[in-house]
Structure 1
Amino acid sequence: MVKRVRGNRGGHSRQQMRKHRERTTVNAILKKFQIGDKVVIDIDSSIQDGMPHLRFQGKSGEVIAKHGNCYDVLIKDMDKEKTVVVHPVHLKKEK
Structure 2
Amino acid sequence: MSVTEKDVRYMADLARLQLSGEEVKSFAQDMNKILDYMDRLDELDTSDVEPLEHVIDLDSRLRKDKAEAPLSHDDALKNAPDADSDYFRVPKVIE
**TM-score (normalised: structure 2):** 0.20
Q: Which has the larger radius of gyration?
A: 2
Tell me which of the two structures has the higher relative contact order, counting C-alpha pairs closer than 8 angstroms and 6 or more residues apart.
Answer: 1
Higher helix share: 2
Higher strand share: 1
